[in-house]
Structure 1
Amino acid sequence: MTSVASLSTRLQELHQLTRQTPLFNPVFQLSLDLSRQLESGELSLDKVELLVRELECHSLTSRAQRLRNNLAPVDPDANDAEIAALCADCDFDAFREQWERPSLHAVFTAHPTFLLTPDQSEAVAEAAGSGEEARCITGAERPAVTLDYEHDRAMQAIAHAQDARDRIVRTALREAARRWPDEWRNVAPLPFRFASWVGYDMDGRTDIAWYTSIGFRLAEKARRLVRYADQLAAIDAGHVLLKELTAARDYALARANDFAADLTDPTALSDAANRLTAKDPRKLLTLAPHVARLEDEAAEADTKRAIALKTLAAAMRADGLGMGWIHFRVNASQLHNAIRRRIDPDNTLDLSSKGAVATLRELLAKVQPLRANFAALAIESSTAIRQFLAMAQILHHIDADAPIRMLIAECEQPSTILASLYFAKLFGIEDKVDVSPLFETESALEHGGRFLDALLAEESYRQYARQRGRVCIQTGFSDAGRFVGQIPASLAIERLQGRLAQAMDANGLTDVAALIFNTHGESMGRGAHPGGFDDRLAWPLSPWARRRFARAGIALEPEVSFQGGDGYLHFATPELALATLTRIAVLDPSATDIDAPADPFYRRTDLSLDFYRAIRKHQREHLESATYSRALTAFGLGLLNPTGSRVSRRQSDLSADRDMNLRQIRAIPHNAILQQLGYPVNVISGVGTAADGNYEDLAQLISESERGRQLIRLVRASNALASIKTVAAYGELFNSAYWASRPYRGTETHLSDACEVLAEYLTKDDRTGVFRRLASRLRVDALKLHRLLDLVPDESPLDGRENVRRQIGVLQALRLALFQYMFLRAVSVPAFSRANDISRDDVLEMVFTLRIDDALEQLRRAYPTSFPQPGDFALDEPSDYPDGDNEGYSAIRRDYIDPLERAYGLSLRIGTAIANEFGAHG
């Protein structure tokens, strides 16, 4: 078994044995076969690496094919034709209505999903564009995923999105010029807006200095001005506006360099701030005159030049003086701490009380704006107030036009929003800041309707909403999908969106827009539907929810995230960016058919509501189960590569690792661990149990309901990749009986001592029982799920489903074999004396929880191979000691420590391949 094909064949043979012995585990048996080959010398780590390389290559191609299928057609000419066709069956007024409002706001977020190296991302993007196999990029050194790295990748993706939007605008204008030669110049296209929170998201992190955000915004301004100038030069190299744009570009770049430095020193800050705030003819703060001038020129120019000028004007209108709009984000608790300094210094007021709301209402009515400078920013200790001060400086000195979003995580009280309005008014920026509560926790989703009713009933908020022209909310699918389950989360978010439409209607706010930012990742475990772009756009904002706004006469501004390295693949090349935006333009999630027939899923609430509640109950039982928590944290976070600058902090002491709580792991790592263990519990589990006893009626409802079928398409897509046998296999690693029996009857006698040590050590370990109990619970639910699925048509079966499952099975078996190899190396290292409160048992536990870097550090300290030699000293007195060359330590490094490190590195590469087969990280 030295090829992937032979491993796949062997796994298929082993699967047949489950007919004879239901408890037989083919994945673990294949891992044992591989482990025996490794320990006998028949299979070396070099050969294992060749297998891993082949599997990695296949996974990159698999990922590319999924992306291509999701975006097809990718050919630019085909997408130009689709855009032109949008204009074919409408009159000029309808054309303006469609093209002068954004179909979508796309936000480029950067939670930790930068799993692929830049070269691997490029290979996937190339293959997705061409339809060929991906270039095989394996074993490449992973770059450090810093905030600067994330920001640079976000800017590259946005740049491709901007180019794609320009092409779409040009195509639409050409078609308009052909069809309405006397009217088309009156169109002001704005089909998409782009934004980013990379460098501005302060929720859950303290590593972003305030001047970092200022520096990023200045760098974005400089970068956008470069692109504007290049675009204008291509139209007219002698255009009068070029000199002004290039001067503003140079000025912004110089100021960006100022704020890229360490400004903790007051003198350095003062110099940088004074240069930015000083009057300067190059200090461009608005593009409104430039947009007007380009439009005026276009009115008189020939068609070709007019289209080019209007395309540039459209880009300026959409983006302003930056690569896009920006989103700051703080936590509600940070705002609470800030407002208490103003209204409750003794910490006696309940901020959720009516008294607190009344106090804030009065405060808002009386607040007078205060001037603030960069010194105020530097000395402010409150994170929330510092964000408002930073926004004020950006609006005053970088871009006076583009509004800024203030996202508030874990926002469950109207007083939190009123507090944020107070600070916006205090610093004179309430006319440019969109305050947006995030609904993502179970409590927020459950009580969100009452929250919106109370908030929109506040006159001060209604005045603010009318001033801004919109009501903004954010709904999150990552944390919601982890704590509630993806299907219940989607349905709860949908109901919340409906409640927003109802509250806006009831409070006379139908004259403003509803901007709904749905944040999700790229995988089914994080809220992105894998069934194509139609499902992807309808999953977070369903046709039912859209119709609620349309029937109330409320304009809808949908907004979604493209998250991290996974999301940026949609914009990794100009061709992919064009395909992505074309799919969105054609599907147009901002519009809906208000006369569409009612979906029975919303009429038959006697079935659908019970279905929702039962799945949610089942998911909650998992989350509250010590079994589920222990299984997910059995390996700590050691199954995962570092994939972002914002990561979960792992506890430093071993007892904390053993007692790790799921709430210590953020949503993306949580979902990624489920993926790596082989079963996306938060997507699949509970659906079968919810159908138990009512299969026929529920299956009929699902079959007749588009929303119901969409739910099942998600479950099927996840279930097609899932393996309960794999979950159980991970528990067998800790089975004392397995290790005691492995050298039984004279087999592998050279492993007898190591296996005995493992068997004895693991007699007190609970993980085998934990994984077995979890697998049993999953199996019972899965049996019921399969009964339901048998009654519902499979609308989008996964191509080559069994081949994909075997590919993942081989990856899992190979990793399990490497883990066994690591366990055996760890227990075979000679015992060393306790040092710095670290014992040999502690090192073993580090290996068992995949804290390999910590274990290697301790082992290398116990067995050093680099130390002073007698020849390093110029001494006259002779010495016969030391009389050895310490070869023993070098042998320990060679035979145990270095192989342990290499095996773990290979296991992480396998983890990347598994994520690619699933379609995304997490």
Structure 2
Amino acid sequence: MTGVSDLSERLQELHKRTVETPLFNPVFQLGHDLSRDLEAGDMTLDDFEALIAELEIASLGDRAARLERMVAPIGDAANDTALADTLEKGDFAAFRAQWERPQLHAVFTAHPTFLLTPAQSDAVANAASHGEEITDECIGGERPQVTLPYEHERAMRAIAHAQDARDTIVSQLLAHAEKTWPDQWHQLAPLPFRFATWVGYDMDGRTDITWSNSIGFRLSEKAERLSRYVDALEQIDAEHALLGELRPAAMYAKERAQDFAADLSDPSALSVAANRLTANDPRKLLSLKRYITALQDEAADCDDATRAVALKTLAAAMRADGLGMGWIHFRVNAKQLHNAIRRRIDPDGNLDLASKGAVVHLNRAIKNIEPRRSNFGALAIEASTAIRQFIAMAQILAHIDADAPIRMLIAECEEPATVLAALYFAKLFGIEDKVDVSPLFETESALEHGGRFLDELLAEPVYQEYAKTRGRVAIQAGFSDAGRFVGQIPASLAIERLQGRLAGAMEKNGLTHVAALIFNTHGESMGRGAHPAKMADRLDWALSPWAKRRFARAGIPLEPEVSFQGGDGYLWFSTPELAQATLTRIAVLKPAHTETDVPKDVFYQRTDLSLDFYRAVKEHQREHLESRTYSRAITAFGLGLLNSTGSRVSRRQSDLNADREMSLRQIRAIPHNSILQQLGYPVNVIAGIGEAAEGNYEEIGSLLANSARGLELVRLVRAANALASVKTVAAYGELFNSAYWASRPYRGTEGNLTAACESLSEYLVKDDRVGVFRRLASRLRVDAMKFHRLLDHVPDDSPTENREEKRRMIGVLQSLRIALLQAMFIRAVSVPVFSRANDVSRDDVLEMIFTLRVEEALAQLRRAYPRHFPRISRFDLTQPTDWPDGADEGYEAIHRDFIDPIERAYGLCLRISTAIANIFGAHG
């Protein structure tokens, strides 16, 4: 077996043996074969690396092909034509109504989703954009450390491409209007897309972002955006009068950004930076309103249509983005807000924030607030995270951008009083007219009680007054945690019902004249976009046509918002061509609009079936989450199967012994869902679908097959199932099978491994993981059998391309990793008994290797077996010594034979993880 094709053929042959022996595991057998070749010297780690490199290139190509398929056609002419074919040609008022509100708000978020190196991302993007071949030049290199500045730089790069693509679309809209309605077109102020980011402003679950980081980022974004406005205006007219104001403003913002990038821990340094920013300066620009008006007036007086379109396009960009690369989202946790509000109105802790009394108390407090001034000194000394965020927002609005509103996202928000607490602080610091407070619904409890929450909140007069002032009601629904705790299918259906309840609550409380801004943050199911089939499904998954019709029929303007997260999300905007294609596809689909007069979907008519189906799937998912078997299997390798992919930690700290009892709540949603893919089976997508249809396959199948929503659900599950393998789940359990290790050298075929296998067998004889994986695999298999019976009644309207080829590619990757893990186990147990560092426990090191805390294990081994010792000859001492009495040598052989191979094997395992994630379409 010298090539990937050989391994693929071998795996295919091994699969045939399952007909004779159902318990036979082809994935583990191929891993065993590879392990024997490696240990016999017939293969080396160099050979493994060559095989993995070939598969990495193929996986990157697969990702590029999927990216291209989702946004095709790619090319300026094709996209111009695609958009032109959808444009209104008769009613100017209808055209304005359609394009003067955003079709979509796009939020460029981060979190741990930067899986690919910059070179790999560029290779995928160039392959999708230009058909360039992906070569081995982009693989095997060192991964950059994913820091907050790195994330911010990548976000700004993506937004810049998105801005350029939006300008192209706006220009096309204006040109179309100029030709179609020459007497009216100057009234058009297009705003097809709005962009935002929370990179550098999201404080939920992290303490490493300082207030000065946020101010510094906002200033750097202002400087970059002003520079881009200057560039755009120079292209129109290099001598334009407004350039004399915009150029100095851009330079001023850049200087202030440099001030806040410095160390401001010393009060004197902060005072200097703050005083420079707050002082009056002729270059200081806080609003673009005057410039927007000037550009539009000039366009109206211009006889050159081309120049007029360019001027109005620049004005549209200014109207959309303001003095930044986009709007910004701060985010805090509800607990942080609770702690802050208690300090203000309930210092004795007597108030239950879940009670009606708390709402009444907060209403009174909000009405009686006297706004407080704040400055950067107050910001620097404020201890409360939540209050600090409001003060930071106040400083941004006062000294950086006075026009662009700021979003305040509240994670784990389950009580109306939490939103009122945010309104209290917004009013306290005089910014309530510029802050959109947005509760986040993503836990099972929040989704279950979200309808009641919205009914109560929107009935409060103080909130109604606030919503009318802002012109919108904003909420956020998170698919990541929801998809983890209740499963992707139930999460989507629960979020859909929540969105419908929002429409009902707004209509009931007389808020139909304000917009509903619904931010959906997707989730790691089959990629960060949640749905891998097509762009229409991706958009509908976040906000279904049924939910949109609820708003349309109530006459409520809708502002859909979605996240493009980290390395995956930024790929859509990684080249100008991809950005153009992505926004054009979205513009053509018009996600903010829906037809109200359409046939009713049977999925919502037959609630006797669909609700029971939803509840059964959710219950099945809950049983997994509460099962010790599932929890132990998912955490069997800790997070060691995953690369570090972001600046936010993926789990809370715990000691070694805690790994065995690790709770799934200790792992964040993205890595949790990613581990499922690495183990071979997206449980949170597939599990429970079959069991929910048991005994009623034909009727449930007919319901799904005759429903647009039902088919969309099935397309997601089919896509996951096309890549899933229960055999792979079981294969990982066999690594911990004491009987396997005891039997491996039984016939004398691997006598050189006898001692190592015996030690592994003895160590693992009491280990629970083999039984855990077997029980989980059995349960998944039973459910999968029922699932396939259901699929017999639902047509496959979007079959996975090259399904068997992809499955074999994943299978080979999994087998290679199983062989590498065996190599690591064998070498770890073969290291001689520690000599010098007696405080290092051999069992601890073994357990670190088994749970893939490899870097920690290697650190201990290197401490026990140093390459070099301190030499007595380095000291210049007058007193003689007879000790040491020999020439100490470093443990070079132990490093060569054990420590270095473990390190290299683990590095190759992580490269396999990247390749598997690429095929699944994931970045977390």
TM-score (normalizing by structure 2) = 0.98
Report 1:32-431 matches (<5 A). Answer: 32-87=32-87, 89-136=89-136, 137-301=138-302, 302-431=304-433
Residue of structure 2 equivalent to 1:801: 803
Task: Supply the distance in 2 between the matched residues of 1:458 and 1:834 (Cα, whole angstroms).
Answer: 70
1:589 and 2:591 aligned = yes
Aligned to 1:450: 452
Q: Deviation of residue 101 (structure 1)?
A: 1.1
Amino acid at match of 2:28: F
- Describe the superposition over 1:743-799 as per-residue Cα deviations: whole angstroms up to 9, x where unpaired: 011110000000000000000100000000000000000000000111110011111
The one-letter code of the counterpart of 1:111 is: H
List per-residue Cα deviations over 1:243-283 (Å, max 9, x = no partner).
11110111101110111112111111111110000111111
Q: Is the 8 A contact 1:522 1:563 kept in 2?
A: no
Q: Is the 8 A contact 1:125 1:569 kept in 2?
A: yes
From the superposition, tell whether residues 888 and 290 of structure 1 become closer, same or farther in structure 2 (CA, over 3 Å): closer
Provide the rounded CA distance (Å) in 1 between the counterparts of 2:321 and 2:549.
29
**TM-superposed deviation, 1:880:** 8.3
What residue number does 2:485 align with? 483
How far apart, CA to CA, are the structure 1 residues paired with 2:336 and 2:838?
38
Shift of 1:835: 4.4
Q: Does 1:599 align with 2:610?
A: no
For residues 90 and 757 of structure 1, the distance between their equivalents in structure 2, rounded to whole angstroms, comes to 81
Give the counterpart letter for 2:131 in structure 1.
Answer: G
Tell me which of 463, 466, 469 is aligned to 2:468: 466
Distance of aligned partners of 1:884 and 1:911 in 2 relative to their CA distance in 1, 3 Å threshold: farther
Partner Cα distance (1:204, 1:436) in 2: 17
Q: Is the 8 A contact 1:486 1:527 kept in 2?
A: no
2:100–2:189: 8 Å Cα contact kept in structure 1?
yes
C-alpha distance in 1 between matches for 2:561 and 2:579? 17
Q: Distance in 2 between matches of 1:885 and 1:26?
A: 51
Could you report, residue by residue, the CA deviation over 1:502-552 in whole angstroms, capped at 9, with x for unpaired residues? 000000111101000001146526562111000000011000000000000
Counterpart position of 1:912: 914
2:91 and 2:459 map into 1 onto residues whose CA distance is 40
What's the counterpart of residue 745 of structure 1?
Answer: 747
Equivalent residues, number: 922
Q: CA deviation at 1:348?
A: 1.8
C-alpha change, 1:883 and 1:790, in structure 2 (3 Å) is farther
Alpha-carbon distance in structure 1 between the residues aligned to 2:374 and 2:652? 39
Q: Does 1:625 align with 2:613?
A: no
Amino acid at match of 1:306: A
SS in structure 1 opposite 2:755?
helix
Identity %: 73
Give the letter for the 2:61 counterpart. T
Structure 1 pair 521–231 and aligned structure 2 pair: CA distance change class (3 A): farther
Whole-angstrom distance in 2 between the partners of 1:648 and 1:585: 35
Per-residue deviation at 1:133?
3.5
2:845 & 2:907 partners in 1: Cα distance? Answer: 18
Residues 497 and 545 in structure 1, CA contact (< 8 A), matched pair in contact too: yes
Instruction: Spell out, residue by residue over 1:576-614, the C-alpha distance to the aligned partner (whole angstroms, 9 max, x if none).
Output: 000110011000110000001100000000100000000
Task: Determine helix, strand or coil for the equivalent of 2:85.
Answer: helix
**AA partner of residue 277 (structure 1):** T
User: For residues 627-652 of structure 1, what are the alpha-carbon distances to aligned partners after superposition, in whole Å with 9 as ceiling and x for unaligned?
Assistant: 00000000011000000001223544
Per-residue displacement from partner, 1:552-597 (whole Å, max 9, x unpaired)?
0100000000001111000000000001100110001100000011
Determine the C-alpha separation between the residues in 2 that align with 1:326 and 1:793.
43
Structure 1 distance, partners of 2:37, 2:271, is 66
Unaligned stretches of 5+ residues in structure 1: none
Distance 2:881 2:682 in 1: 65
Letter in 1 for 2:581: A
Q: 1:389 to 1:87 in 2, by over 3 A?
A: same
> Secondary structure of 2:119's partner?
helix
Gap regions ≥5 residues in structure 2: none
Provide the aligned C-alpha RMSD in A: 1.4
In 1: Cα distance, 2:181 partner to 2:890 partner:
86
Cα distance in 2 for residues equivalent to 1:493 and 1:14: 43
1:694-729 CA-to-partner distances (Å, cap 9, x unmatched) read: 000011111110000000000000000000000000
Query: Mean Cα displacement is larger for which, 249-258 or 126-135?
Result: 126-135
Q: CA–CA distance in 1 between the matches of 2:61 and 2:139?
A: 12
In structure 2, distance between residues paired with 1:342 and 1:876:
69
Q: 1:214 is matched by which residue type in structure 2? A: I
- Where in structure 1 do 4 or more consecutive aligned residues deviate above 4 Å? 833-837, 873-888
Structure 2 distance, partners of 1:698, 1:411, is 35
Q: Give the equivalent residue in structure 2 for 1:16.
A: 16
Look up the SS of the partner of 1:275 in the other structure. Answer: helix
Q: Deviation at 1:87? A: 2.1
Residue type of the alignment partner of 2:80? D
1:571 counterpart SS class: coil
Equivalent position of 2:828 in the other structure: 826
Residue pairs, 1:564-575, within 5 angstroms: 564-575=566-577
Query: Is 2:710 the partner of 1:708?
Result: yes
Determine the C-alpha separation between the residues in 2 that align with 1:566 and 1:551. 35
Partner deviation per Cα, 1:327-373 (whole Å, 9 max, x = no partner): 00000000000000111111121111111111101101111111111
Alignment of 1:778-857 (within 5 A): 778-832=780-834, 835=837, 837-857=839-859
In structure 2, the residue corresponding to 1:524 is in which secondary structure?
coil
Amino acid at match of 1:267: S
Cα distance, 1:848 vs structure 2: 0.4
Name the residue aligned to 2:637.
Answer: 635
Deviation of 1:100 after TM superposition, in Å, equals 1.0
- 1:746 match: secondary structure: coil
Structure 2 residue aligned with 1:863: 865
